[in-house]
Chain A
Amino acid sequence: MSEAKQYKYIGQRTIRPDGFDKVTGRANYGADLSLPGMIWGKILRSPHAHALITKLDTSKAEAHPDVLAIARFEDFPTVNAAAFAEGRQDKGLVDLASNILADKKVLYHGHALVAVAARTEAAAAQALQLIEVEYEVLPPVMSIDQAISADAAILHEDMFTQGLAETPSAASNIASRMELKKGDVDAGFAQADVIVEREFSTPTVHQGYIEPHATTVRFDENGTSTIWCPTQGHFDVRASTARLLGMELGQIKVTASEIGGGFGGKTTVYLEPVALILSRKAGRPVKMVMTREEVFRASGPASASQSRIKIGAKKDGTLVAMQASLYYEAGAFKGSPMGPGCMTVFTPYDVENMWVEGFDVVVNKAKVAAYRAPGAPQAEFAAEMVMNELAERLAMDPIDFRLQNAAKEGTQTLYGPKLKAVGLVECLQAAKTSKQYQTALAEGEGRGVAAGFWFNIGGQSSVIINMNPDGTGTILEGSPDIGGSRASMQMMAAEELGIPLDRLNPIVTDTEHVAYNQTTGGSRTTFATGMAVVEACQDIVAQLKSRAAAMWNVTSEQVDWQDGSAINLAGEDKMTLAEVCAIAEKTGGQISGRGNINARGAGPSFAVHLCDVQVDRDTGKTDVVRYTAIQDAGKAIHPGYVEGQYQGGAAQGIGWALNEEYVYDQNGIMENAGFLDYRIPLASDLPSIDTIIVEVPNSFHPYGVRGVGETGIVPPLAAVGSAVSNAIGLPITALPCSPPRVLKLLQDAGQ
């Protein structure tokens, strides 16, 4: 294993390669591209949360002199009525199409109905007003309780709950149920001296990325159509668009622009296929940009949840049984993160008896999208709140309680496999000795502790590194950089090749210049794309050795590669990488390395967060006064970026816990669709967030890397929730702990 090795670049805080462009404003984001002859697309959206479309007449809009094209659901050739008649429909694809342009029914306020492309943005907006739509309004289903009640309005008449013992005969808003178990939970509870059982809820929240969705596309009937957009996965934008439009992958080129935040919310398509339909019809490039209001109303938020948690322990602090029922809102179409929620809820603990059931529930809200560790924050919030209450009931330190029951190497998880080496114990120990935990609370302050788990994934990554005759090189990767991956790729390549960082230029290229890359998500990129970079470098080193061997008239086996130079083991010769590249013309042509992998062995990660708060009892406002995020990175390639991920996850989790929520009126209309009313934390709302990087290496990665991007958002909900609870001396069972809610809790308690 590589942990004892001293590295030249790995572990250093190097200058980020994209930094200059970003701070000088030269970086090009989603809305920055304009093309000659370009026209503008706009979308007409539903004013109702749930309604049948009884009339849709676009004729007046089509007659508008500046309107060049209109797109409707029927324009998706692979899911329209003809495809249905021919049995070519795929339910997942139909849901995707119906989400980006409604078919016969609108399922949430803001649901897209029709798109118009016109010569100017203003003309497109004007033309939307000319479209005549009539609805039969249906009762909106806006919560899990409403959705699963016996008299609920049904969103999809063809949806029957999957995962039940018996096939149901009636349609339901519960798309599926899953169950996981380990041991005998009833027998476990029978051994318990103390049992805590509580119900919790979390609201619909948005990822809060600053850059709205945007795209510029140009349909080319003779060759390759082009799409420019901010996305976490341009290869999957290409795949989804091709499937929806019945095109071949080779007919579409997608370029990922710089991205102004994604956090999971930019892993699907909304505008791109629509814009391509409009461009095809109009014969002109089309640009579409969502407003902030559209982003809130119609892009995918994170699931609201309800959960019931029951945990039992012996007097000595040994956990004996854990049980959970987890309900997740999917939004208008099935597909909440219920599965990962069930799989993660109790993973921090090594307990013999566990039982979890989960439900995927549709409601009249925008279809949910991923958000950092999707499903885990909601579930682990509930579990960690109960863990803290249990620790209090047992009169134990919450960290000691967790240490006594912590998952470690060999722990059999509820979802199946035994854990390999993981760093939860090390994180808990670091928390215990941290500066914050050693700091006494001031009067009126409350402290919360929480642990968190996320799997992290590997998957497909493709990298090409082209070397130039002067020894510089270009790293072509296909993983959009949402958290510093260009720096990590540059550092790993420089380390492998033994050359200075600035000799290598990392570029996120389009879908034509490298093979398929899975979307940047699941905390996979530094791990998986990093492995592809290492493989590409090994390919290059093999070629460099072969070329040097040819010059020295020895075999490749007689050449070693050390610190950026070929060494002739059969003589005294030495050639630097630049010198070998300079003679590439004479030794077989230019040198290029390739790494195409489907990476296995992703290392799961654990985190522990500490939060201290002060609550103003007159206003209910909570101030976070101290915060520490501790997490196992495996190996921090660039500690600055790793700390940034920890702090970013903590900041978003604090927002989720304290203020963020979609507020709907009785008709299912979101009332706070803007950053003035949807309150994400500002820098002035947060203390300096301390970080501690724990490094328990992942043996499957050449440098020991685990993913770090997602786990950091898992613990804050319970760390903050418990801190507030301890500060006010009252239980917290619902998020957010916003001033009105906290004030009401205090008033109801007569305080």
Chain B
Amino acid sequence: MATLILNGELEKLAGCSTITISSVTYRGFIEEVVNQVAGLSADRLMEMALAIDGEIIHEPLLVTIPENSELHFVFKISGG
């Protein structure tokens, strides 16, 4: 099981600060989050980067979510 840690607006929407995730695929993970948090859309979540154990991944579609990993949604960063 991985743990998704929520912050800011997502935490407010979910009403909790963590969600336990069993999926190992990104799409399965998104489905799990959307099913558990009313008002969150998959499209909105997929616009964000995903941090897995501290590594920020801007396009996580193909990632495998490791067992016992810590997950965070992170706003995508561009820069100058």
Contact = CB atoms under 8 A, between A and B. Distances in A.
A-B pairs with the 9 shortest C-beta distances?
A264-B80, A522-B79, A416-B72, A370-B80, A417-B51, A417-B54, A418-B54, A521-B79, A372-B80
Contacts of B56: 417, 455, 600, 602
A182 B7 contact: yes
Interface in A172-205: 178-182
20 contacts: A163-B9, A178-B9, A265-B80, A339-B75, A343-B77, A370-B79, A373-B79, A414-B7, A416-B73, A417-B70, A418-B53, A419-B54, A420-B54, A454-B79, A455-B77, A519-B78, A521-B78, A521-B80, A598-B58, A601-B55
Contacts of B9: 163, 178-179
A343 B55 contact: no
Interface residues of B, number: 23
B30 interface: no
Contacts of B72: 415-417
Contacts of B53: 417-418
A546 B2 CA distance: 43
Nearest to B72: A416
B75 A343 contact: yes
B74 to A, nearest CB: 5
A228 B73 CA distance: 38
A416 B79 contact: no
Interface string A646-657: 000000000000
A339 B49 CA distance: 13
Nearest to A370: B80
B77 A598 contact: no
A416 B9 CA distance: 13
Interface of A: 163, 165, 178-182, 207, 263-265, 267, 339-340, 343, 369-374, 414-420, 454-459, 519, 521-524, 598, 600-602, 700, 710
A373 B80 contact: yes
A476 B72 CA distance: 36
Given A417-B54, A455-B56, A457-B58, A180 B80 contact: no
B39 interface: no
A483 to B, nearest CB: 12
B31 interface: no
A700 B56 CA distance: 11
B59 to A, nearest CB: 5
Nearest to A713: B80
B7 A415 contact: yes
A263 B80 contact: yes
Given A179-B9, A180-B8, A418-B54, A457 B74 contact: no
Given A179-B8, A416-B7, A522 B77 contact: yes
B5 interface: yes
Given A598-B58, A601-B55, A415 B75 contact: yes
A181 B8 contact: yes
Given A179-B9, A417-B70, A371 B58 contact: no
Interface in B43-74: 51, 53-59, 70, 72-74
B3 to A, nearest CB: 12
Contacts of B12: 165
A373 B57 CA distance: 19
A97 to B, nearest CB: 20
A243 to B, nearest CB: 17
Contact of B77 (A178, A340, A414): A340
Nearest to B51: A417
Interface string B1-31: 0000101110110000000000000000000
A180 B6 CA distance: 10
Nearest to B73: A416
A454 B78 CA distance: 11
A455 B55 contact: no
Contacts of B11: 181
B75 A710 contact: no
